[in-house]
Amino acid sequence: MTQTELIHQTLHTLAYLGVREVCVAAGARNAPLVSALLACSGVKIWNFFEERSAAFFALGRIMADRKPVAVVTTSGTAAAELLAATIEAHYQNLPLVLVTADRPKRYRGSGAPQAIEQAALFGVYATIVGDWDVTDESHEGHCSDGPMHLNVCLDEPLETNVAGVDFSAAQSLPASEEGPPSPLRCDLVLAAGMHPKDAAEAAALLARLGAPIVAEATSNLHAFTELKPLLIPGGERALQSSRPAHVLRIGAVPSWRWWRDLESHPKVKVTNITRTGFSGLARTENVETLGWESIRSAEFSRVDPPCGILRFEPEYGKFPESEPAWISKIANAIPAGSRVFIGNSLPIRELNLAIQTARPGVEFFANRGANGIDGLVSTFLGASAIHEGECWLLLGDLSALYDLAAPWAISQMDHPRLRIVVINNGGGKIFSRVASMRALPDAARSVIENRHALGFEPWAQMWGLEYLQTNDANDLEDLLPVPMVIEIRPEPLQTEAFWKDWQRPVIRPR
Ligand SMILES: Cc1ncc(C[n+]2csc(CCOP(=O)(O)OP(=O)(O)O)c2C)c(N)n1
């Protein structure tokens, strides 16, 4: 096989897998693939100077449009930079296609420049579609769920004059079949991490079921007015008041502490309906995990007696400058038709509490596969790239510092209404909410929280983004139609006071 044939085989495989967008980070070894891709039709190319952003951006594209997206790297540690996004894609079961150019197989184990062991680099996190070299007789790519890895070994001379292929001419893969109906019972629903289209399917079922629902913002269930009477405000606090016998969890693994504590309550039955295949619990007793198709085929009924869950509304007015109140004010300022990406750590928890204050018609996304604080700006940009409404990112300061290179992609997006909101509380303040850490001496807490006094204006300036720092929520209305960084600095004493007030013990009425 010639190098040209090997490259064509790679392009056809991508087209067959359903890839219509590719994020490239170029080097010398992958130049043949990159130049061939640029000569292709029916495929959109995004370009990056570093691979980590490229992979997280691809992840965001997949989350938004639910179609496979590829990322193409050169050899060596460039390929290794894809690992974190691949792990996130694995736990979200998203078809991230990794194409890594490699040196020829005879270099393996030699220590020659840029010859690392790429073939099984992603371990359990990606299915190997192929490890191809011109000396191989035949190349058969296999499709799977979740991330897929295609390692392509290219020898010198590198062929950079390969004709492109037409991606749109490729056949798409067949859809999966539905299972037989099965009976399901529950007295409490937990919902998290659903694409808005999945949320619409789930909403129809949940409205018929009539059981109380504790839903995270990313469940996207708050958009459905028919669910209003069933959606219980108060998050963790509400959950603590409940005594369910059978929990139905739909979508991603919930971020509530209460969910983690279900590990030690084996009598509480848990049924998961998820696209990921992961139960999200280490215990297996009384836990079942079903595929998404059961949302259509299962016959649901409510268990009696009811689980007794109580409703709680946070009193933001008492602590208006606290961080949770700020998240609520931001949620309320985001216009209908917007797409919101929520950072991990405190923002996602605070938004779950404040979701009732969000306007209808807003979509929510987050990286809750492995809960990393890395790649969040890049994932947000990928998820926003072709959304027509406003796109908002709410994230912590350390999370923003983690992804300073991400705005590289903005100049390729025809998108003036990006709002990157950094909640700058001067470090990883989630750790000040963990009881065991609060007991540590201040010097240790300072290291664990990575306390700092950095601001984000120079970052915005570097990338030519508008910058706004405000302590007036009215400034968040009718923002200019330009990409902007918005920095919010909540008042720490009010934040502390808010949580103290919110975490007082739940007293059940007799
Ligand atoms: C890649 C990665 N590294 C470390 C962590 C552990 N971690 C969880 S939250 C957090 C602090 C986040 O700080 P920030 O983004 O400022 O948010 P805040 O806690 O203030 O809400 C860290 C380091 C992680 N989740 N992901």
| pLDDT given at position 507 | 72
Same domain, yes or no, for 298 and 320? no
Domain span including residue 259:
183-302
Q: Can you spell out the DSSP letters for 80-96?
A: HTTHHHHHHHHHHT--E
Structure tokens at 61: 């594209």
Q: Are residues 242 and 289 in the same domain?
A: yes
State how far the Cα of 25 lies from the Cα of 71, in Å rounded to an integer.
Answer: 8
Q: With contact defined as beta carbons under 8 Å apart, do 178 and 297 qualify?
A: yes
Q: Do 280 and 194 lie in a common domain?
A: yes
Residue 139 reports pLDDT greater than 90: no
E-strand ranges in 17-57 read: 21-25, 44-48
pLDDT in tens, 10-33: 999 999 999 999 999 999 999 999
Average of pLDDT values for 456-483? 96
**Mean pLDDT, range 183-199, rounded to an integer:** 94
Residue 178 located in a structural domain: no
| 144 and 212 fall within a common domain | no
Q: Could you tell me what percent of the chain has a pLDDT over 70?
A: 96
What is d(CA 194, CA 216) in angstroms, rounded to the nearest whole number? 10
Per-residue confidence (pLDDT) for residue 183, from 0 to 100: 76
- Give the pLDDT score at 179: 57
HSE, side-chain direction, 13 A CA sphere, residue 318: 11
Inter-axis angle of helices 346-354 and 323-333, nearest 10: 60
If asked whether residues 275 and 331 sit together in one domain, one would say no
Which residue's CA lies nearest to atom 22 of ligand 1? 428
Domain membership flag for residue 73: yes
- 309 lies in a domain? no
Asked if residue 85 has its Cβ within 6 Å of ligand 1, the reply is: no
DSSP secondary-structure letter at 126? S
Of the candidates 251, 213, 246, 479, which has an alpha carbon nearest to the alpha carbon of residue 355?
213
Q: Please report the pLDDT score of residue 504 as a whole number.
A: 84
If asked whether residues 273 and 357 sit together in one domain, one would say no
Domain presence at residue 168: no
Judge if the beta carbon of residue 88 lies within 6 A of ligand 1: no
367-392 confidence digits (pLDDT tens): 999 999 999 999 999 999 999 999 99
Strands, sheet with 391-396, edge to edge from the N-terminal-most edge strand: 363-366, 339-342, 391-396, 418-423, 484-488, 466-469
pLDDT of residue 142: 67
In a domain, residue 173? The reply is no
Residues 422-447 pLDDT 10s: 999 999 999 999 888 888 999 999 99
- Picking from 142, 157, 172, the residue at the C-terminal end of a domain is 157
Q: Which of 302, 331, 357 is the last residue of a domain?
A: 302
Q: Residue 372 C-alpha to ligand 1 middle, in angstroms?
A: 7
- Whether residues 358 and 488 share a domain: the answer is yes
Residue 492 inside a domain? The answer is yes
Tell me which of 273, 302, 331 is where a domain ends.
302
> Is residue 507 one of the residues assigned to a domain?
no
Among residues 68, 18, 302, 5, which one has the least CA distance to residue 172?
18
pLDDT in tens, 289-316: 999 999 888 787 888 889 999 999 999 9
Rounded average pLDDT over 183-204: 94
CB of 488 sitting under 6 A from ligand 1: no
Q: What is the pLDDT of residue 145?
A: 87
Does residue 406 lie within any of the structural domains?
Answer: yes
pLDDT at 305: 86
Cα(344) to centroid(ligand 1), Å: 7
- Count of domains forming the chain: 3
